[in-house]
Amino acid sequence: MTETLFTLISSYGVWIIFGSTFLSCMMLPIPSSLMMLAGGALVSVGDLVLIEVASAAYAGAVIGDNIGFQIGRRASGTLDWLTKDKPKRQAILDRARKTVDQNGGLGVFLSRWLFSPLGPWVNLVAGATGLAWPRFAIWDAAGEAVWVTVYVGLGMAFATSFVEVSDIIGNAVGFLSAGLVALLMGRWLLRKLR
What does the domain layout of the chain look like in residue ranges? Answer: 2-193
For the chain, list residues with pLDDT below 50.
none
Q: What is the pLDDT of residue 84?
A: 76
Q: Which positions ≥6 away from 135 have C-beta within 8 Å?
A: 104, 105
Per-residue pLDDT reduced to its tens digit, 64-115 = 999 999 999 988 766 666 677 888 888 877 777 777 767 788 889 999 988 8
Q: What is the pLDDT of residue 79?
A: 65
Cα–Cα distance list, 141 to 61, 109, 112 (Å): 9, 8, 9
Q: What is the pLDDT of residue 90?
A: 81
**Residue 25: strand, helix, or coil:** coil
Q: What is the pLDDT of residue 1?
A: 60
